[in-house]
Amino acid sequence: MFTVEQIELAHSKVKTGADFPKYIKEIKQLGVIGFETWVIDSHTEYFGENSYKTKSQPQYANLEIASSSNNEKFIHYLKIHQKGETDYYTFCKHCAETGIEKWFVSLVEMTCTYYNKAGSEILVEQIPQ
């Protein structure tokens, strides 16, 4: 099974959102079938076959997540991040500012779903392959 260290090594190659599809491909090859990242501190729980899971440590000090979501602004921030105009931490700060609490990536369905604090889906995106 995969380890957090293997995943973090793959993630270290990600400089901007433009690198995300390559990262997904690499961790999928490790056996990751999904993961959930919490914006508050970027800790992530990774899921594999046969109920395997492992969890990363927080990546930064807690961010305050806005209590209401601003979907238009979030989508704008996401698009500029995907073009490579912001780094990961800036994207996480933008998520917090616009009320995004977490995202879940399914490597089976190849989707990334963003959620607000109420647990409502804000956006579901197909991951480019």
Tokens of 100: 């995004």
pLDDT of amino acid 84: 86
Residue 37's nearest CA partner among 2, 4, 9 is 4
Note the pTM of the prediction, 2 decimals: 0.90
Tally of CB atoms within 10 A around 29: 11
Domain of 94, CATH number, reads 3.30.1810.10
Give the mean pLDDT of 54-75. 97
Query: For residue 82, what are the domain limits?
Result: 4-126
pLDDT of amino acid 73: 98
Give the mean pLDDT of 109-114. 96
pLDDT digits 0-9 by tens, 34-64: 999 999 999 999 999 999 999 999 999 999 9
Confidence of residue 82 (pLDDT cuts 50, 70, 90): confident
Q: What SS3 class is residue 83?
A: coil
* Structural domain total, the chain: 1
Give the mean pLDDT of 78-83. 92
CA distance 27 to 97: 28
Of 10-14, 26-30, 44-48, 86-90, least confident by mean pLDDT is 10-14
Q: What SS3 class is residue 78?
A: helix
pLDDT of amino acid 35: 97
Q: Do 47 and 53 meet the contact criterion of CB atoms below 8 Å apart?
A: yes
Residue with tokens 């931490």: 89
CA distance 5 to 8: 5
